[in-house]
Amino acid sequence: MKKKIILINILLLISTSLIVYKNLNKFNNNDIYFGYYNGNEKLEEMPSKDNTENLVFDYASCDNGANVIWDEKEWAPLVKNLSKSKTKCTLYFRQASGIEFIKKLVKNNDSNLIFDGTSDNNIRYIGASPNNYIDIGNKDSNGESILWRIIGVMNNIVEVDEKTGNDNIVRSHIKLIRNDSLGEYSWDSSSSTINKGIGVNEWSNSAINKVLNNDFINKTNLEGKCYIGLNEELGKCPDWENIGLDESSRNIIANVKWNTGTFQGQNIDEWLVYNIYNAERSNHTGNELCKSNGGGIFCNDNVKRNTIWIGKVGLMYPSDYGFATSGGEENNRIKCMNNSMNIWNSDNLNFCNSNDWLYSSQIITSGKWTITPVNYENNAVDVFCVRHNALNSSNTNGVYNINPVIYLNSNVDIISDENHDGSKEKPYIIKNN
Is the CB of residue 54 less than 8 Å from the CB of residue 420? no
Note the pLDDT of residue 362. 64
Closest CA to 362 of 326, 396, 395, 386: 386
pLDDT tens digits along 51-88? 877 788 888 888 888 888 888 778 888 888 887 778 88
pLDDT of 17 strictly over 80:
no
Check whether residue 225 and residue 312 sit in a common domain: yes
Whole-number Å distance between alpha carbons of 294 and 67: 68
Domain assignment of residue 227, yes or no:
yes
Check whether residue 82 and residue 175 sit in a common domain: no
Note the pLDDT of residue 329. 87
**Which is higher by pLDDT, 1 or 20?**
1
pLDDT level of residue 332 (50, 70, 90 thresholds): very high
Note the pLDDT of residue 108. 81
Note the pLDDT of residue 433. 54
Note the pLDDT of residue 30. 55
* Long-range Cβ contacts of 275-280 (<8 Å, 24+ apart): 276/317, 276/318, 276/319, 276/322, 276/341, 276/372, 276/391, 277/118, 277/317, 277/319, 277/322, 277/323, 279/372, 280/317, 280/318, 280/319, 280/372
- Can you tell me the mean pLDDT for 361-368? 74
pLDDT of 371 strictly over 50:
yes
Domain assignment of residue 35, yes or no:
yes
Domain count, the chain: 2
Check whether residue 198 and residue 62 sit in a common domain: no
- Torsion angle of the four alpha carbons 349, 354, 355, 359, in this order, in degrees rounded to the nearest 10: 110
Note the pLDDT of residue 432. 60
Check whether residue 90 and residue 115 sit in a common domain: no
pLDDT tens digits along 127-186? 999 999 999 998 888 888 999 999 999 999 999 999 898 888 898 999 999 999 999 999
- Of 80, 95, 110, which residue sits at a domain end? 95
- Domain membership of residue 40 as a residue range: 2-95
Note the pLDDT of residue 388. 85
Whole-number Å distance between alpha carbons of 423 and 428: 8
Whole-number Å distance between alpha carbons of 370 and 402: 9
- The pLDDT mean for the chain works out to 87
- Of 40, 61, 95, which residue sits at a domain end? 95
Domain assignment of residue 244, yes or no:
yes
Check whether residue 15 and residue 131 sit in a common domain: no
How much of the chain, in percent, has pLDDT values that exceed 90?
A: 61
Note the pLDDT of residue 206. 97
**Which is higher by pLDDT, 8 or 212?**
212
Check whether residue 210 and residue 84 sit in a common domain: no
**Which is higher by pLDDT, 18 or 30?**
30
How much of the chain, in percent, has pLDDT values that exceed 70?
A: 91
Note the pLDDT of residue 222. 66
Whole-number Å distance between alpha carbons of 264 and 251: 37
pLDDT tens digits along 376-392? 999 999 999 999 889 99
Check whether residue 390 and residue 277 sit in a common domain: yes
